[in-house]
Amino acid sequence: MSKCETPDTILRLRALREKLCGNDAPWKEAFEVRDIVVEQLCELHVYANSDGADIHIIQQKIVSILEYLHVDVEYNEESG
């Protein structure tokens, strides 16, 4: 092999890097969703521990979070 040739292992590593870098968008989106859900849960926790917290508002906020995560709330109520 001459000095100008790229070894197969390097080519495979480059291909793997390109493939993994192409998967960054779903990970970025997943972490953004996580951050939003954590923020909403923290707000809900503070509200739930406050004086005069209304159980119906808490339930609505929980449903809102589940819907944001695309969870079928009605299905889970029936099965749980």
CB 49 within 8 A of CB 56: no
**In the chain, what are the helix, strand and coil shares in percent, each to the nearest 5?**
75, 0, 25
- Chain position carrying tokens 């859900």: 37
Compute CA distances 58 → 31, 32, 75, whole Å.
24, 23, 20
pLDDT in tens, 48-61: 999 999 999 999 99
- Find all residues with CB under 8 Å of 56, minimum gap 6, and list them: none
Global pTM reads 0.64
Please state the rounded mean pLDDT for residues 18-30. 79
